[in-house]
Structure 1
Amino acid sequence: MTASVSTFDTPVSGADPFGYEILEDPLPFQAELRDAGPVVYLEKYDTYAMGRYAEVHAALTDWQTFQSAAGVGLSNFRREKSWRPPSLLLEADPPHHDAPRAVLAKILGPREIRSLASSWAADAEQLVDELLARGPKFDAVADLAAVYPLRVFPDAVGIPQQGRENLLPYGDHAFNAFGPPNGLVARGAPRVAELSASIAAQCAREVLTADGFGAQIWAAADRGDITQAQAPLVVRSLLTAGVDTTVNGLAAVLHAFAVNPGQWNRLRHNPALARTAFDEAVRLESPVQTFFRTTTREIEIGGTPIPEDTKILMFLGSANRDPRRWENPDAFDLGRDPSGHVGFGFGIHQCVGQHIARLEAATLLNVLSRRIASLEICGPARRHHNNTLRAWESLPVRVRLA
């Protein structure tokens, strides 16, 4: 951190939070951000940043002041056009946000989610059978975390097999595009039209199965709960939000267990801790690291006046490791109550599919904890860089069967 940006002594950072070094290891930068103050000015992007839990949580719950409708990325939709139609869930505020959110909240209710448990458990057993039959070594990302969600969640939505291979590349670009137009965005740009067309085709009424979430969204449009034009956008939002984040959350919890064998033993002796383990890994690793908001009026944060129509970058990952909120925040601890973490957001825009993600994770962890006595990293682990997501590219592990 450097000197102040104005007479108000606002801390200033010349760092690029979307640069290679910070994306590879954001923890030192995030610690500096928290220590510098409640709000920090980012010179490179002419925007403000918050890294402490209290301020991030407050902004997430105050949608009237910290607007999502101007985009949750660096681009300001008041002045710039998005490369895709804005998300009706992430990038809309009441009243436009209310109807789509209510439709999905009902479709993804507790009873509906519980009905998936038995079939998802069978899928998890089959996948683990296939994996362990190949030997004691596998890649926890490529062979497990990136496979299981693409096996069960698209089935639940009701999309066809053809085109599912485009879900992760599309999501990767969508989350990259929340950041600046850097090399990561340029890398995905050549395929934008192809991927967008593929995802749009999968959201059409005629290709969806009659018993999935997608068909229920279209049925809500037929009832007038949402418009016919909104239906495919709600399906798309579900697909975008429900795959990449779950893949990265699963990878995070598997990595956490691989480097914390005592916690794996704890889970094996108490399988009921599976959901706590997933939430603790989401707190610790924060698969979604950042989101932007835009001020709707002039405000003051920690003595710093921030003008109306100003972008503010919220570091969810930093908030989830803030020692002002969490005791021993860098530890993966199944004895902790991780509720209150902002890894799924908070307030009216929090992830509507978080209960789906928890069911997927708990189901897979329950199967693995019965079958595997221990797991350890057995080769170089590599990060996958994304402007918004904290992800693993490869995580080689060796397991010992129970």
Structure 2
Amino acid sequence: MSAMGSPQATGSNSSGGRPPAAIPHLAIDPFSIAFFDDPFPAHQALRDAGPVVYLETWNVYGVARYAEVHAVLNDPATFCSGRGVGLSDFAKETPWRPPSLILEADPPAHTRTRAVLSKVLSPTVMKQLRQHFTAVADATIDGLLARGSFDAVVELAEAYPLSVFPDALGLRPEGRQHLLPYAGLVFNAFGPPNELRQSAIARSAPHQAYIAEQCQRENLAPGGFGACIHAFADTGDITDKEAPLLVRSLLSAGLDTTVYGIGAAVYCLARYPDQLARLRADPTLARNAFEEAIRLESPVQTFFRTTTRAVDIGGSEVGEGEKVLMFLGAANRDPRRWAEPDSYDVTRKTSGHVGFGSGIHMCVGQLVARLEGEAVLSAIARKVASIAISGPVTRRYNNTLRGLETLPITLTAA
């Protein structure tokens, strides 16, 4: 295990001294099970405390208001990703895996690799996939309607992306059961050395081996996203060594965000029947209904940045080399930015939400996630009259992601 580095529970605070007294100190642990169960009172406390806070549990700074989170996301020169977007500081400890060329990289290196993925996942490519993704979503909802009652997490939120995304990527049929555990591992590893992170890494060897093998050129079907990425090594845009790592980035970014996003959307529609009625009356709201679920539930809750220089945040100075934790979920419910932020409204103008991030590091899989989310909600809008929660809803715990473990529902056909 030593090759994975020894995570430091002390976080950053590279100066060794105490942070400025003007910055509120909070004892909130954003990586505790109690926090995961109900983060919203803590989110409010974080926002109310000030534009920047100091989290004593892990010795890091935090921003939870929309304005500050958006500002940090859009200033990569001051708040870098190359030192890790989790608690670990890559300048001080060894990453548990080779760093992502997208998520854990800064310009100019990031600009070059990101350009390749932007071409592979362009709007034009999404248009070519739309018909197939829509047909599979329709068939999925038809099949679930025939059954009536089922678990919406396993049989819809997970099953649908797994039925379209790995094929689009060009993965072989065998071994796909490793995909979700691997993505869960990646997002758990951004957290501190708690039980979630340690146990995820401890059982990760088979998942990591599968991913490493699948990302190689010879294992990817022609015409898929993966093969397209490798083709850019032939043109010199990326190296042969970088290509598998970029395929890996897509596997990490393109699946869990979608699974959690679709789960969030179905959960919202089940709890807000008036909004399902609005969606049914106007199925063109499907894309917006998905965006609003991403805003409200924020499947990706947090990410870190590291300061590259001393910087003023909200009137207080934060030194160089400090970890800053961005609470994306809190920003997406900030009443300073959103009217009635805790309600689900499929007609809300959602542009500007940070559920997919913002700026140069905005989620690389967002176009795929949006296409899949829209396809599922469009099928629901046209085919489903009601969604009733029919059993205990349980939460899945992850250091970075917020989503459900079980969501038993009963559908009534339109």
User: Are 2:318 and 1:306 aligned?
Assistant: yes
Paired residue type of 2:372: E
The aligned residue for residue 279 of structure 1 is 291
Q: Which amino acid aligns with 2:246?
A: V
SS at 2:291 equivalent: helix
Mark the runs of 5 or more structure 1 residues left unpaired by the alignment.
none
2:54 aligned partner, one-letter code: Y
Identify the match of residue 263 of structure 1 among 275, 284, 308: 275
Equivalent position of 1:182 in the other structure: 194
Matched letter for residue 169 of structure 1 = P
- How far residue 12 of structure 1 moved from its aligned partner, in angstroms, is 0.7
Q: Of the candidates 188, 201, 207, which is equivalent to residue 213 of structure 2? A: 201
5+ residue gaps, structure 2: 1-17
Do residues 373 (structure 1) and 385 (structure 2) align? yes
TM-score when scaled to structure 2? 0.94
Describe how 1:3-402 pairs up with structure 2 within 5 A: 8-134=21-147, 136-402=148-414
Cα deviation code 1:204-251 (max 9, x no counterpart): 101111010100000001110111110000000001000001000000
Structure-1 residue corresponding to 2:4:
none
Overall identity of the aligned pairs, in %: 55
User: In 2, distance between residues paired with 1:69 and 1:234?
Assistant: 16
Q: 2:259 & 2:146 partners in 1: Cα distance? A: 22
Letter in 1 for 2:114: R
SS in 1 for 2:70: helix
Work out the CA distance in 2 between the residues paired with 1:232 and 1:7.
44
Structure-2 separation of matches of 1:157 and 1:6:
46
How many positions carry a matched residue from both structures? 397
Higher mean alpha-carbon deviation, 136-145 vs 124-133, is at 124-133
> Contact 1:8–1:304 (CA<8 Å) still a contact in 2?
no
Code of the residue aligned with 1:210 in structure 2: it is P
Instruction: Provide the alpha-carbon RMSD of the alignment.
Output: 1.0
Which amino acid letter does the alignment assign opposite residue 240 of structure 2?
Q
Q: CA deviation at 1:128?
A: 2.1
Could you tell me whether the CA contact under 8 Å between 2:310 and 2:317 is conserved in 1? yes
State the distance in 1 between where 2:349 and 2:253 align: 25
Deviation beyond 4 Å, 4+ runs, structure 1: none
| Aligned-partner residue type, residue 46 of structure 1 | N
Q: Distance in 2 between matches of 1:190 and 1:10?
A: 37
Query: Counterparts of 2:159 and 2:381 in 1: how far apart (Å)?
Result: 18
Q: C-alpha separation between the residues in 1 aligned to 2:199 and 2:138?
A: 36
Distance in 1 (alpha carbons) for counterparts of 2:262 and 2:100: 24
In the aligned structure 2, how far is the partner of 1:44 from the partner of 1:384?
23
**2-structure distance, mates of 1:241, 1:53:** 23
Could you say which residue in structure 1 is the equivalent of 2:5?
none
1:234-283: CA deviation from partner (whole Å, max 9, x where unpaired): 00000100000100000000000000001001111111101101110000
TM-score normalised according to structure 1 size:
0.97
Say if 1:188 and 1:309 are closer, same or farther in 2 by CA, change over 3 A: same
